Each structure stands twice: as C-alpha cells, then as structure tokens.
Amino acid sequence: MPDLTSMLLASLPILVILVLMVGLRWGAARAGAAGYLTALAIAIAFFGAGANLLAFAHAKALVLTFDVLYIIWAAFLLYRVADEAGAIKTIGEALPSLTRDKGMQAILIGWVFASFLQGAGGFGVPVAVTSPLLVGLGFSPLAAVVIPSVGHGWAVTFGSLGSSFNALMSATGLDSATLAPGAALFLGIAALVTGPMVVHAADGWGGVRRLFVKAILIGLVMGSVQYLVAVVAGLWNIGAFMGGLAGLIVSVPLAQWGHPKPTTEERPALKPLLTALSAYFVLVILTVVILLIPFIKDTLGQIMIKISFPETSTSLGYITPAGTNRPIRLLTHAGAILLYASGIAFLIYKRAGLYANGAGKRILSSTVQKVMSSSLSILEMVAMAVVMEQSGMTEAIAQGLANAVGGAFPAIAPWIGAIGAFMTGSNTNSNVVFAALQMRTAQLLALSVPIILAAQTAGAALASVAAPTKIVVGASTAGMAGKEGDVLRALIRYTIILILLISLLTTLAILVWK
Amino acid sequence: MFKNKFALYTIAFLTISTASALLYPAAQSGLTSIIWVLMGLVVAGTILTLTIK
C-alpha cells in the first residue's frame, strides 16, 4: 500500500471521532464506539490484523482501561464524599474571600493546584478533582473543565512522578542528562503561556490584562523550579511536583497583592473551611507519604497486575514485540490513593456530623450511576488506540507525516507526539509509541536528537489534556457528561496554540544548535 | 426494552469488557473460532453503545 493511502486510512478513526465530537457534538461514548468500529474494520481489511493480534490487543486494552478507570471511579467517589458533606459548597463560599477575582480563582485552583496534583499524582486526577471545585465557585461546567485541562498540561511530562519522562528514556535508551534540559525548557516556556490562557478561559481578555504580571510571575516560578529540580538537581521524578508546590507557595500572597485585606466579617470561619478542605489535605498528604517515602512505596507497591503479551504480527509483517503492560500497582496507584483519601475523608466528615442518614448509600449509588457512561467511552477509545498501535496504523500515520514533511520535520515533531497523546490520552503512551521513530527520523535528517525528543514529549504532554479520554474524566465530574464535544471545541484552540509554540521553539532550537 | 440509559451503558460495558477478558485465554490456547465469537460480542456491545442517545 502506498504510504499516503496507508496514512489516510489509518487517520480515518481519529477523523471520525473528531467530526462526530466536534462537528456533530456527539458524546464520547457514541463517538468512541464509531471510532473503534472504523479502526477495527480498517485494521482487518487493510492492515492485515488477524484473530490472535486482535485478541491480545483487546486484552491489553482492557488492562489499560482498568488503569485509567481506577482513577476515574475513585476521583468521583472522593468528590461525592466531599459534596455529600457540603464541603464543596463551603469551599465555594469561602475562597472568594481569599480573592474575589474570578481570574485569580482560576489561577489558584485551575492552574497552580491542578499542576501540583499533576506533579504528585496525575493520571487524570487534576481535572477530576478541581473541576467540581470550580463549578462550586460559580464557573460554568464548560469553563470548569477547560481551565484545569489547559492549566496542568505543562506539568504532565515531569508529573505523575516522572512516568512519562521515564517512558521517553526507556524507549530511546538515552539518559536524563541528555533528555531533561530540552524537555524542561520547552515545558517551562509553555507554563509561562499557560497562565494567561487559564485567565482568558476564566475571565476573557480583560482578565488577562489585569492579571498578566501575576500570571507570568507564577509561571516563571513554576517553570524555573521544574527546570532546576529536573535538570540541575537531576531529580526528574519530582520536577513538576516541586514546580507545583512552589507555585502554591507564591500564589496565595500574590492573590491578595494589590487588594485590601479582607475584614474580619469578610473572612470565612476557619474551622468549617478546614473541615471542608480536609478531603484534599488528606489526598495531598497521602500522595506525598505513599509516593515519596521509598519504604512505603516499595512495600505497598509489591501487589501489582502485570500481564505478559506475546509478539504479534500482521499479515503485512508489522511486528509488535512481546512485553508486559505497565505494572498496575494496586495499593500505590493514584486510584488507590484517592480511595484511601475518600475513606478517611468520609470518617472525618461523619465525625464532624456533616452527613444525614443514608449518606454512604447515596454516595456509592450516585458514583456508580455517574461514571458508567464515561467508563464505556474510555473502554471504546483505549481499544481503538491499541488496535491501531498493534496493527501498524499509528506508525503509518507517523511515518507518512515524517516522509511528507522532510526538512520541516522539527516543526512537525511536536504534532506527532500530540497525535499519539490525543489518541491514547497519555503522554507516556505517546512516548512509548513514537519516541524511537522520532529519534531515528532525527538521525536520518541529521537533526539534534534531544531537541526532537523534547518536542515529542512536550507536544504529547500539551495534547494529552485534550484527548477524548481525558475530556471524559473532567466532563463526568463537572456535570458535562454527554457534552464532551463542547469541551473539545473550547479546549482545542488553546492546545493548538501551545503546540504551535513548541513547533516554533523546536525550529528555532534546531537552527541554533544543529 | 430498556428505558434506562444506565442499564444500557452497564450491559454494553460488561459485554465488551467480559469478552475482552476472555480473548486473552482464547488467544493463548489458539482457539481462533472462539476468538471470532468473542470479537462478535465486542462489536455487538459497541453497536449497542452507538444506539444509546
């Protein structure tokens, strides 16, 4: 099959999803089902996928789906535990006294707090946790999903305790000293642009003009700290975590800078506020304790799901090597930490007398009812992505793009990473699938490998937040289930601007350091 | 037959996930005909999803 035909055929499932979600405003479950059926038909008819390949691809997709759903179900449970106790309402009523500025509230919760959560946990938690908080503050459900989605993209590669960056190193065999500088620089610059974008999504251009200096200052602190920790100190696994933490420390006083201090009457009662926030304090403390204390992490991390998958090949000769899934450590997984936090928060709220009779039953039944549609969408889309990967469709898209663009490859490299992340909803998966291809193409074109790989992971990080699977997470927790197309339409313009920025930076970097 | 969207989502989810789980042992045992039957179930669950408006 000619390259162009392969690429166009392989692109069809993505186009189907985009058209159905963006053009016809279908929900993610139906659009994902249509995309999956398109991918399956093309994989069998044109890419030579046989029974064995499809069987292992679907089993692998189920494992990946569990990995994702573990967080979604637990994140929504935590939200319902807090909401049933009236905590979301209490926080929503209290935060405006810290700052009444809507743009600043978006910065604090949708950018800085979401980035901190990405650094410590990730895997969809930032949007799932902060969207309901923003809705409680009076933001529209659409804005409540878009703001944290845009806000945490810069922190994805070095977030989740460095899992995506680790995948980049594993796929290429290169070390952190080679790969971290470019990636941290590109994502640090993206952080600077992200702040004004968050304010724009919350409060329009007026907000951007009013809060531009504060947003740039916070972005500078978060991006610089991530760079210093990941590159200078070599602690790439906590780069985004420390960046987010530094952002939290500087943004609270900055929120009140230039405004009169609230009077005693305006200040919220501290005890109810602290009780309401306890679910999130518990989440942060548990995340730090479980993931950053090696003894606890190693001990709890021994129980895992790790399944071996044999080598598969298509009738056209495309081979997927044998391997295992990314181990799902059941007791240290981000979903597990959310479950622990939910249980402890439930006890705290119950002891504080915040629950009416039957609260536990209401929390559980509403959680199950709410997340089923999202669970189905994710199952369909992950299956589509894995079938495409294993049948060689994903590679056909990447190779077709690389061959077609030649010398313009530096500008295209971030988009290849972005496509991988958009399809799989994961910076990590995109790096696993495309990093070796990007490295080889850079070598063939005599371009700097570290810069092209920085473009790969930065593009993937910034696009992963707009992936349908991620959008479903945020939409389901903000009351936008079934309206994922609206979210994608609002989010995609910010994502495209950020990836264009990475394209420009990559091109400039190649010109300077070729 | 099913008026409740939640019930339909649940049926589709369980059909697809159960069939996908069974595909692993079927492929390990080389049972090609069983694989296609299970793939049929996955497709049926997917088509059910398409009908849920």
CA distance A243 to chain B (A): 39
* pLDDT at A53 exceeding the cut of 90: yes
CA dist A490 and B24 (Å) reads: 39
| Phi, psi values for residue A330, rounded to 5° | -60, -30
* pLDDT at A437 exceeding the cut of 90: no
Q: Which of B5, B23, B46 sits opposite A33 (nearest CB)?
A: B46
* pLDDT at A257 exceeding the cut of 90: no
A349-400 pLDDT, tens digit per residue, is 999 999 999 999 999 998 898 888 888 988 998 899 889 989 999 888 878 8
Q: Which residue of B has its CA nearest to A370?
A: B6
* pLDDT at A212 exceeding the cut of 50: yes
A452-467 pLDDT, tens digit per residue, is 999 999 999 999 999 8
- Output the CA–CA distances (angstroms, integers) from residue A332 to A71, A76, A289, A307, A363, in the order listed: 12, 18, 10, 18, 23
Choose between A169 and A209: higher pLDDT: A209
Number of neighbouring beta carbons within 10 Å of residue A300? 17
Nearby residues of A78 by Cβ (< 8 Å), 6 or more positions away? A129, A279, A283, A338, A341, A342, A345
- One-letter amino acid of B9: Y
**Radius of gyration of the CA atoms of chain B, in A:** 13
Confidence at residue A325, expressed as pLDDT on a 0 to 100 scale: 79
Interchain pair B49, A376: CB under 8 A: yes
Choose between A225 and A479: higher pLDDT: A225
Instruction: Spell out which residues of chain B touch residue A34, defining contact as CB-CB under 8 Å.
Output: 50
**For residues A187 and A179, is the Cβ–Cβ distance under 8 A?**
no
CA dist A374 and A436 (Å) reads: 32
Q: How much is the average pLDDT of A249-256?
A: 84
Question: What token pair was written down for A386?
Answer: 């894995």
Confidence at residue A160, expressed as pLDDT on a 0 to 100 scale: 74
CA dist A179 and A438 (Å) reads: 13
Confidence at residue B1, expressed as pLDDT on a 0 to 100 scale: 46
**First CA to last CA distance, chain B:** 14
Rounded mean pLDDT of chain A? Answer: 88
* pLDDT at B3 exceeding the cut of 60: no
CA dist A43 and A396 (Å) reads: 12
Say which DSSP state A303 is in: S
Q: Does B29 touch chain A (CB under 8 A)?
A: no
Interchain pair B19, A58: CB under 8 A: yes
A1-32 pLDDT, tens digit per residue, is 667 899 899 989 988 987 887 678 788 889 88
Choose between A271 and A153: higher pLDDT: A153
Sort A149 into a burial class: Cβ within 10 Å, 0-12 / 13-18 / 19+: buried
Sort A82 into a burial class: Cβ within 10 Å, 0-12 / 13-18 / 19+: buried
Q: How far is CA A298 from the centre of its chain?
A: 25
A308-347 pLDDT, tens digit per residue, is 999 999 999 999 889 887 788 999 887 898 899 999 999 9
Write down how long chain B is.
Answer: 53
Q: Name residues 297-326 of chain A within 8 A of B (Cβ).
A: 307
Q: How much is the average pLDDT of A409-413?
A: 93
Q: Does B50 touch chain A (CB under 8 A)?
A: yes
Nearby residues of A280 by Cβ (< 8 Å), 6 or more positions away? A82, A129
B4-52 pLDDT, tens digit per residue, is 889 999 999 999 999 999 999 999 999 999 999 999 999 999 999 999 9
- Output the CA–CA distances (angstroms, integers) from residue A18 to A74, A343, A399, A484, in the order listed: 28, 38, 21, 11
pLDDT grade, residue B2 (50/70/90)? very low
Instruction: Spell out which residues of chain B touch residue A51, defining contact as CB-CB under 8 Å.
Output: 27, 32, 35-36, 39
| Phi, psi values for residue A446, rounded to 5° | 55, 45
Q: How much is the average pLDDT of A112-118?
A: 88
CA dist A170 and A175 (Å) reads: 9
Nearby residues of A140 by Cβ (< 8 Å), 6 or more positions away? none
- One-letter amino acid of A139: F
